[in-house]
Amino acid sequence: MASYDGPQTLFDKIWRNHIVASQADGQQLLFIDRHLVHEGSFHGFNKLKEKKANVSRPDLTFGIVDHYAPTRVRDISQIDPTIAGMITQLEDNCRANGVRIFGLNDPRQGIVHVVGPEQAITLPGATIVCGDSHTSTHGAFGAIAFGIGASEVAHVLMTQTLWQKKPKPMRVRFDGTLAPGVGAKDMALSMIAAIGADGAQGHAIEYAGSAVSSLSMEGRLTLCNLSIESGARCGLVAPDETTIAFLRGRPLAPQGPLLDRAAEVWRLLASDADAHFDREVVIAGADIAPIVTWGISPEDSLPITGTVPQPDTIPDEGRAAHAREAIDYMGLKPGMALTEIPVDRVFIGSCTNSRIEDLRAAAAVLSGRKAAVPGLVSPGSSLVKHQAEQEGLHRIFIDAGLEWVDSGCSMCVGMNGDIVPPGERCASTTNRNFKGRQGPKARTHLMSPAMVAAAAVTGRLTDVRDLMGGRA
């Protein structure tokens, strides 16, 4: 059994505070502070019905319509009956169990991993779970947040606890200063490229270093969102003044003197100076360039100045075989410059990059320019959409020739009507470029919002720095 004597990591401290019971095999029962449910949670609610059980803590459970949310029509009577059924089922399950629901037409609706921080459902020091792998996003606030399976959703609904085996601690430091045109998405993809899609398997990553502490909360959310793509169980950043400032005045955050008292505790949530990490990785921020993916895994990432790999020069036969498969699926040629790769459309959205800062970054590139290809812009929440419209960002996207739609997971998952047509190539701000992720036979290149905007303007993968020309 793990000992808690001596120096501890941030992860150790939060984990220890939530242990209810322990078993000899290393499994520990954790209390769960926040349980987020979306349309895919119906399996868990069905288990409750079978057992004639109630939701244990409806006050700590939050329902949010996102995966199946249509982005062009909000009248549920006018959408696909199957999609409408998934949405209605979630709303009915939540209301029947006294669970707060951010439904399709709620003015606060959005992607679960955008709404959580936005409403301050997400708080430092908390344990947060959801039936979605990118729940790691919430770790940006100094929380332990991870995705769970259908049976685990049912367990949390019924008990507000979950059996887990503690991951090993890992620290990734991004030291120094990022160059103009480089952001959190580039940091995350460069890390995944360096350590591999399973390089952090069995670990909880703590992100640290001056480049991380300089990130906004939006940037930290993007970084933690992609933790799962390195194989990590979760990722987190120690809370600081940036965290506290973001939470101040949010609907479900402590208010007034209570926030000040909470902030005193949150500031203590940091790894001890001599805490042990099972693994450490150090990346120089100045060495990171704008990154794009060329293949069928987030680890297939390279600086935009690079070229498609040549499988015959890769000594590891497993990696060489993967490269051949990826090049064939993506319709590329070994050795071709990444900037020679054309795109058919673009997508700006998803739980990775759909917050107001992301939209501003894309709009800064698109302002006064026309897109050479069609594209879709889906804000991460209805509140983000409203703010973007107040700032006039939507006019920039529309004037450039892109579609401006409502919030939801949209083209990230291809299950709500927004898909990339077969064989087409999409420059996307999403988190996964697996085969068919954005639609059957769709080809996806992952990159930052600014890089997607650059691709929209030129119709090919493009170094956004070439378009900045003095722009911020």
pLDDT tens digits, 11-31: 999 999 999 999 999 999 999
Find the mean pLDDT for residues 289-300.
Answer: 98
What's the pLDDT score for residue 327?
A: 98
Q: What is the CA radius of gyration of the chain?
A: 22
Find the mean pLDDT for residues 408-435.
Answer: 95
At 219-262, the pLDDT tens digits run 999 999 999 999 999 999 999 999 999 999 999 999 999 999 99
* Cα gap 376→396, rounded to integer Å: 13
* Cα gap 300→296, rounded to integer Å: 7
Find the mean pLDDT for residues 337-341.
Answer: 98
Q: What is the mean pLDDT of the chain?
A: 96
Percent of the chain with pLDDT over 90: 97
At 34-79, the pLDDT tens digits run 999 999 999 999 999 999 999 999 999 999 999 999 999 999 999 9
Could you give the count of Cα atoms lying within 13 Å of 239 in the half-sphere of its Cβ?
A: 26
At 114-163, the pLDDT tens digits run 999 999 999 999 999 999 999 999 999 999 999 999 999 999 999 999 99
Percentages (nearest 5) of helix, strand, coil residues in the chain = 40, 20, 45
Superfamily of domain 10-281: Aconitase, domain 3 (3.30.499.10)
What's the pLDDT score for residue 330?
A: 98
* Cα gap 129→376, rounded to integer Å: 29
Q: Quickly name the fold that domain 304-468 has.
A: Aconitase; domain 3 (3.30.499)
Find where tokens 């050795």 sit: 335
What's the pLDDT score for residue 471?
A: 52
The answer to whether the CB of 442 falls within 8 A of the CB of 426 is yes
* Cα gap 239→184, rounded to integer Å: 17
Residues 6 or more apart whose Cβ sits within 8 Å of residue 114: 351, 354, 355, 380, 381, 384, 407
Burial of 98 (0-12, 13-18, 19+ CB in 10 A): exposed
What's the pLDDT score for residue 414?
A: 83
What's the pLDDT score for residue 113?
A: 98
What residue spans in the chain does CATH classification 3.30.499.10 cover? 10-281, 304-468
Closest CA to 60 of 12, 11, 123: 123
Question: Does pLDDT of 166 surpass 60?
Answer: yes
What's the pLDDT score for residue 4?
A: 60
CB atoms closer than 10 angstroms to residue 205: 32
CA angle 150, 152, 154 (to 5 degrees): 75
Find the mean pLDDT for residues 168-185.
Answer: 97
What's the pLDDT score for residue 191?
A: 98
What's the pLDDT score for residue 470?
A: 52
Could you give the count of Cα atoms lying within 13 Å of 124 in the half-sphere of its Cβ?
A: 29
Find where tokens 């199946």 sit: 68
Q: How far is CA 87 from the centre of its chain?
A: 22
Alpha helix positions (H), 214-256: 217-225, 241-247
pLDDT classification of 82: cutoffs 50, 70, 90: very high
What's the pLDDT score for residue 472?
A: 47
* Cα gap 257→263, rounded to integer Å: 10
pLDDT classification of 6: cutoffs 50, 70, 90: confident
